[in-house]
Amino acid sequence: MYVCMCKGVTDHRIRREVDDGARSWRDVREATGCGTQCGKCACTAKAITREAVSEA
Ligand code: FES
């Protein structure tokens, strides 16, 4: 599912970033650009990041 329409970032992409070593929303944002345009996706993307990090 697309989380960020502006940057074309999916929940899978966020989880993969965490698998590859991202440990915070800031890491994910810097790696993907997610949340850097309109910002509407930030809340959902943060929650997915938090969940993925807690499972890592
Ligand atoms: Fe993610 Fe706009 S939907 S920055």
The phi-psi region of residue 8 (left if phi > 0; otherwise alpha if psi is between -120 and 50; otherwise beta) is: left
All structural domains of the chain: 2-55 (1.10.10.1100)
| Ligand 1 contact, 28 CB (< 6 A) | no
Q: How many CB atoms lie within 10 A of CB 55?
A: 9
Q: How far is Cα 14 from Cα 34, in angstroms, rounded to an integer? A: 9
ipTM, two decimals, is: 0.98
- pTM > 0.80: yes
Index of the ligand 1 atom closest to the CA of residue 9: 1
What per-residue confidence (pLDDT) applies to 7? 98
Q: pLDDT value at position 48?
A: 98
Which residues are CB-contacts of 48 (< 8 A; sequence separation ≥ 6)? 3, 11, 14, 15
Q: Quote the tokens at residue 44.
A: 């959902």
